Chains A and B, each alone.
Chain A
């Protein structure tokens, strides 16, 4: 939309706040900058305020306090039909009485665009819907309806495209293929996509930047890699993938600058954690380690031992998933830890239940979280 000389048209939310008339605060003074042209995901469980945020940007929900800007243009009080923003609704909200082509042409027609017919043709091709143009929405499959919803919004070339759980109604296989499709289309058109989802895998595969939301606030923001490898809160550690959180006590600090490490005692073993991975100032903390970073080996056999080492853990559970196996280990201090192991065939079989194993991990993968946070936060109740 904008040439190089124009200022960047980033989406800026400042102090965005939403309090409903029943007293419920859905979004708490949110500050967020979404760079122009990026694929941004708002990730969080249901009720975390992500959809409310999206609806405020679309103009479908009134803002209690704060501002919404695109570049320098303040759109906080703008009517929804005057915003350079379009939405792909969760259940698509296709007009049932109009054909696919008419649905897609709805926006351009309202804006009085002259060459809308050629635009429709173009977008039908981009979304591979040319053959469905004359049909009604009810005659289409879920995946096709999803693409119509996308085409109907995209044809307007909005500065920001909002996607509200766009793949939520599709089955797993279709969802996977549509993830790739969405990403391809976003790269092709180069528009800013803001994608709301509760599916962490969806957010990670598609988005450049992910903001994890919880109870109306952003817990952490970053690239999928940053969020996964270095979560800052127990919520992020548990909601984005899974984590083992073990109680530890800070016993000292060493080094300075980038090399600074925090020494944490964990049931008699001292773990060294890089300063950049320490997210608490207190003397107590949750030592976090991702389950796939745990290495195990039956006692008495040699263990690749790159860092911390524990013995006398017992395998008390194993779920064989084909690609990998999820073990549950009982540690000497009584806590149960998860361990995911790729089935590369090195072991020549599964580790039997009841087997005593040695456990180790590389210290550079460990992170330290604030002990005042709930270790269960963000765990999916299944």
Chain B
């Protein structure tokens, strides 16, 4: 630190923050403000000529009235996917942290491995896996789990499955990070103090992994509720999420003000939910 201080003087901290702050200011704050002003603009303009700021809150009323089912669907799909991720991810993260032994590193690399291919390609391959003449559907039909003309692709199931798959690593990593820190001796102590293995798990392991649970669910739920790739590749017109509507309004309809209003609402909605959630989970005490 002293050598850094010699170069930058007393305010070395500010200098270290500066590059990232500049980047975020330019490419996050400015677009965010632009999004906000666009959301209050007159929708009669067009993307090329631009939109005139009109303080038009009616945009918000319009999109809520027209598109509220998309919000509901987004939150429900993302919610189910998050719960599924939590269940699958917790078991796996627990196994990696406590049972994997020398396979720990290999398993962690495997968790991250999907990131080596693109999000789009992975989702497209799910399209193949769940296709009507694919082996999954045919096997399920043979087992009479699915009817003769039953299908998986273009159903809510496919969308939720895709969301669950794509965001699972974001759940596993924070869970692993907090589970791995737990001293196994604490579990022994709980058993020594008359807690059965289950009681010990709930009163010690689960409680100490809450920061990971909160982190993981946020990292899963937030992007999942704004996602449109899974719904557009694996779903049908009736499974569209709010992301699909935003995308359609921006790119197809060229209606920037309404698209922006939709985005702002989604953002605020998620922000409020996160605040309530973090408050209730009481994580600030754990951190």
Cα A110 to Cα B197 with chains together (Å): 12
Interface contact A106-B208, CB-CB below 8 Å = no
Give chain B interface residues in 145-198, CB to chain A under 8 Å.
183, 185-186, 188-196
Interface contact B193-A107, CB-CB below 8 Å = yes
Interface contact A89-B286, CB-CB below 8 Å = no
**Interface code B203-224, partner A: CB below 8 Å = 1, 0 otherwise?**
1100110000000000000000
- Residue with the highest number of chain A CB atoms closer than 10 Å, among B183, B189, B207, B286: B189
Residue of A nearest to B194 (CB): A110
Give chain A interface residues in 22-65, CB to chain B under 8 Å.
58-60
Stretch at the interface among A90-98, A228-236, A264-272, A325-333: A90-98
Interface contact B208-A86, CB-CB below 8 Å = no
Interface contact A156-B193, CB-CB below 8 Å = yes
Chain B residues within 8 Å of A111, by CB: 194
Chain A residues within 8 Å of B189, by CB: 87, 89, 93-95
Residue of B nearest to A111 (CB): B194
Q: What number of A residues sit within 8 Å (CB to CB) of B?
A: 24
- Flag whether A142 is at the interface (Cβ < 8 A): no
Interface contact A110-B188, CB-CB below 8 Å = no
Interface contact B196-A93, CB-CB below 8 Å = no
- Flag whether A222 is at the interface (Cβ < 8 A): no
- Flag whether B122 is at the interface (Cβ < 8 A): no
Interface contact A96-B208, CB-CB below 8 Å = yes
Interface contact A97-B192, CB-CB below 8 Å = no
Interface contact B195-A60, CB-CB below 8 Å = no
Interface contact A95-B186, CB-CB below 8 Å = yes
- Flag whether B199 is at the interface (Cβ < 8 A): yes
Q: A95-B204, A97-B207, A110-B199 are in contact. Are A156 and B194 (CB under 8 A)?
A: yes
Chain A residues within 8 Å of B185, by CB: 89, 91, 93
Chain B residues within 8 Å of A106, by CB: 190, 193, 195, 203
Q: A95-B204, A97-B286 are in contact. Are A89 and B196 (CB under 8 A)?
A: no
Cα A152 to Cα B190 with chains together (Å): 11
Cα A79 to Cα B193 with chains together (Å): 11
Cβ of A194 to closest chain B Cβ, rounded Å = 14
Give chain A interface residues in 122-168, CB to chain B under 8 Å.
152-153, 156
Interface contact B188-A60, CB-CB below 8 Å = yes
Chain B residues within 8 Å of A156, by CB: 193-194
Interface contact A58-B194, CB-CB below 8 Å = no
Chain A residues within 8 Å of B203, by CB: 106
Interface contact A81-B286, CB-CB below 8 Å = no
Cα A60 to Cα B203 with chains together (Å): 19
- Flag whether A317 is at the interface (Cβ < 8 A): no
Cα A89 to Cα B191 with chains together (Å): 12
Cα A59 to Cα B286 with chains together (Å): 31
- Residue with the highest number of chain B CB atoms closer than 10 Å, among A59, A94, A106, A156: A106
- Flag whether A80 is at the interface (Cβ < 8 A): yes
Cα A95 to Cα B186 with chains together (Å): 7
Q: A87-B189, A93-B188, A97-B286 are in contact. Are A110 and B204 (CB under 8 A)?
A: no
Q: A95-B204, A97-B208 are in contact. Are A89 and B195 (CB under 8 A)?
A: no
From B192, B196, B204, B207, contact of A60 by CB (8 A): B192
Interface contact A81-B208, CB-CB below 8 Å = no
Cα A87 to Cα B193 with chains together (Å): 8
Cα A93 to Cα B183 with chains together (Å): 8
Interface contact B208-A110, CB-CB below 8 Å = no
Interface contact A58-B192, CB-CB below 8 Å = yes
- Residue with the highest number of chain B CB atoms closer than 10 Å, among A59, A91, A93, A152: A93
Chain B residues within 8 Å of A107, by CB: 193-194
Residue of B nearest to A85 (CB): B192
**Interface code B32-65, partner A: CB below 8 Å = 1, 0 otherwise?**
0000000000000000000000000000000000
Residue of B nearest to A96 (CB): B208
Cα A106 to Cα B191 with chains together (Å): 11
Chain B residues within 8 Å of A91, by CB: 183, 185
Cα A270 to Cα B39 with chains together (Å): 108
Chain B residues within 8 Å of A81, by CB: 191-196, 200
Chain A residues within 8 Å of B196, by CB: 79, 81
Cβ of A103 to closest chain B Cβ, rounded Å = 9
**Interface code B225-251, partner A: CB below 8 Å = 1, 0 otherwise?**
000000000000000000000000000
Chain B residues within 8 Å of A60, by CB: 188, 191-192
Residue of A nearest to B285 (CB): A97
Cβ of B175 to closest chain A Cβ, rounded Å = 16
Cα A91 to Cα B185 with chains together (Å): 9
Cβ of A290 to closest chain B Cβ, rounded Å = 39
Chain A residues within 8 Å of B188, by CB: 60, 80, 87, 89, 93
Q: A95-B204, A96-B208 are in contact. Are A110 and B195 (CB under 8 A)?
A: yes
From B186, B195, B199, contact of A93 by CB (8 A): B186
Chain B residues within 8 Å of A82, by CB: 194
From B193, B199, B204, B286, contact of A86 by CB (8 A): B193
Q: Can you give 21 A-B contacts (C-beta < 8 A)?
A: A58-B192, A59-B191, A59-B192, A79-B191, A80-B188, A80-B192, A81-B191, A81-B194, A81-B195, A82-B194, A86-B192, A87-B189, A91-B185, A93-B185, A93-B186, A93-B188, A95-B189, A96-B186, A107-B194, A110-B199, A111-B194
Where the two chains meet, the residues of A that have a C-beta atom closer than 8 Å to any C-beta of B are 58-60, 79-82, 85-87, 89, 91, 93-97, 106-107, 110-111, 152-153, 156
| Interface pairs A-B: 8 shortest CB-CB | A110-B194, A93-B189, A107-B193, A93-B185, A80-B191, A87-B192, A81-B191, A81-B194
Known: A80-B192, A81-B194. 20 other contacts (CB 8 A): A58-B192, A60-B188, A60-B192, A79-B196, A80-B191, A81-B196, A87-B188, A91-B183, A96-B186, A96-B208, A97-B207, A97-B208, A97-B286, A106-B193, A107-B193, A107-B194, A110-B194, A110-B199, A111-B194, A156-B193
